Structure 1
């Protein structure tokens, strides 16, 4: 049973996510976000002084993550058996957000399919930082589709990867770093230097999961086009991890993503990703399906690998 424990924990966590979704109250990530806000206000006092802001950001990352990381390491060492598996399942459930991803995507797709552009814009503004009021129907659909693909990597596959590699400490550390990057990783005068440590650490922790996610999307859709888009288009993207994920995902669905997009700071010219099909409400659902099929593929791979190890060791 100990050998199959990681698989059992992953299935249990995903089952909890499917049945319960994200906790509506007292979510640990929300509490961690409040701590991050306090730390930023206290430490980011000189954003116009690069060296000071850089070291302040590094200190903030340490203060935010080390206590919880130490607690999770202690729990992993002291707990064992069914109690450890239970704690692992709960921790992974709180990090994985497959149901939440689906709910947010469908909240955009439903009004968009009905022709209610204003409602679709309002819903997409909850999950992307773009200026939703200036998006047309295709822009709303593309933004939501990109969010499904990218958050599939960050909130689903990366969590599963870090749990399988490093248990509770791994999954909790990744979730904390990813949250800090989402809050501090902006390239504006206030966070350009202060948020750099969090952004670089998030890039580092996301490097392998992003490429495994891109491979997962490739295997789960139009393989030839996904591989071509990953190889040719991903290097043009400004994010080293989002590029492979979204290029492979867009190619797997043969949908065109990227391109010019309005942000509060102005229109951002982004490379075009994917194939020929225009984004619409159905491509949002297709992206959700791609993530779900990828999760099933991961579980099958973990089961096969675990079974092979069992056969080699015990038979």
Structure 2
């Protein structure tokens, strides 16, 4: 078996493991990395871009090097498929994303706005205190759309391109961005490198997510809205995912968001009505379809590589 074929089979096996088991409940590798990154930050933090560059490079480079070592140690067809499958399972979050979306749907369908507000923190960092049911529905749909790329499409693409090192390095980049990439007073300079690295790592996956959303939702306005509105979002990547979802679901996304007292006004995407509670389940179904499609595309790309 060629290495590329083992990589493709490992990616598909990892997607299957994520579909059956979701994220490990204890000892999740991403959580362990996050704790290590937090400890490293306490030691090296400084209000400078240079320190942030060294911090991000050391952590991401170390994880990538570990992935290279794992692939070299794994000898034989079964071992190669196995380590790729386990790495894929460890970094994928598609199933957990869908579960969180459905949890929000159940609370909102039951009229339990208070619990829905508390649960929203599992999906995004917005302040839910003043959100009504429709506002929570919009936040959930937008988060599911954006995170379909981060949680599923991007790791699969980097796994197809670079195997275990690509899988692990991508998740390290994404985790560091979540930890230090916010534009707060503390991380304005120190988190700059992590944020820019995440933008670069997600540039192609976000656009692939938009195209796969169009493919999974034929006979909708997804392509038109993606082309027209995808570049209007302040993020270079999130807008592609949200615009495609808006067109596919026939809703209008964007508007005013609050993040711990900081208010952002984002351009609206799509021509439909505002999202409603019923749209949350539709967004989760679309996200799952895009994830499956991404798995097939990325595994196929890996299979045909001459490696």
**TM-score for the superposition, normalised by structure 1:** 0.91
Deviation at 1:297, TM superposition (A): 2.3
Aligned mates of 2:205, 2:298 — CA distance in 1: 15
The CA deviation string for residues 135-165 of structure 1, in whole angstroms up to 9 with x for no partner, is 1111100111111111110010001100011
Deviation at 1:5, TM superposition (A): 2.6
Aligned mates of 2:297, 2:104 — CA distance in 1: 32
Q: Does 1:9 align with 2:4?
A: no
- Residues 9 and 299, structure 2, Cα contact 8 Å, conserved in 1: no
The CA deviation string for residues 8-62 of structure 1, in whole angstroms up to 9 with x for no partner, is 21221112112211111111111111112122222223x2xxxxx1000011112
Deviation at 1:102, TM superposition (A): 1.0
Deviation at 1:215, TM superposition (A): 0.4
**What residue is the counterpart of 1:106 in the other structure?**
102
| The structure with more radius of gyration | 1
**What residue is the counterpart of 1:37 in the other structure?**
38
Aligned mates of 2:202, 2:219 — CA distance in 1: 23
**What residue is the counterpart of 2:85 in the other structure?**
89
Deviation at 1:294, TM superposition (A): 1.6
Q: Does 1:239 align with 2:240?
A: no
- Residues 15 and 295, structure 2, Cα contact 8 Å, conserved in 1: no
The CA deviation string for residues 62-89 of structure 1, in whole angstroms up to 9 with x for no partner, is 2212222112112223323211210110
The CA deviation string for residues 97-122 of structure 1, in whole angstroms up to 9 with x for no partner, is 12101111111110101111111111
Residues 205-244 of structure 1: pairs in structure 2 closer than 5 A: 205-222=201-218, 225-244=221-240
**What residue is the counterpart of 1:146 in the other structure?**
142
Residues 113-262 of structure 1: pairs in structure 2 closer than 5 A: 113-222=109-218, 225-262=221-258
Structure 1: which 5+ runs fail to align? 48-52
CA, structure 1 residues 69+4, in 2 after alignment: closer, same or farther (shift >3 Å)?
closer
**What residue is the counterpart of 1:75 in the other structure?**
70
**What residue is the counterpart of 1:269 in the other structure?**
265
- Residues 21 and 99, structure 1, Cα contact 8 Å, conserved in 2: yes
- Residues 7 and 299, structure 1, Cα contact 8 Å, conserved in 2: no
- Residues 8 and 299, structure 2, Cα contact 8 Å, conserved in 1: yes
Q: Report the count of equivalent residues.
A: 304
Aligned mates of 1:35, 1:302 — CA distance in 2: 30
- Residues 141 and 279, structure 1, Cα contact 8 Å, conserved in 2: yes
The CA deviation string for residues 179-231 of structure 1, in whole angstroms up to 9 with x for no partner, is 00011111111101100101111111111111000101111115552122222
Tell me the SS of whatever aligns to 2:269: strand
Q: Which has the higher contact order (CA 8 A, sep 6+)?
A: 2
- Residues 181 and 202, structure 1, Cα contact 8 Å, conserved in 2: yes
Tell me the SS of whatever aligns to 1:121: helix
Tell me the SS of whatever aligns to 2:36: helix
The more displaced of 168-177 and 232-241 is 232-241
**What residue is the counterpart of 1:58 in the other structure?**
53
CA, structure 1 residues 233+90, in 2 after alignment: closer, same or farther (shift >3 Å)?
same
**TM-score for the superposition, normalised by structure 2:** 0.93
CA, structure 1 residues 21+211, in 2 after alignment: closer, same or farther (shift >3 Å)?
same
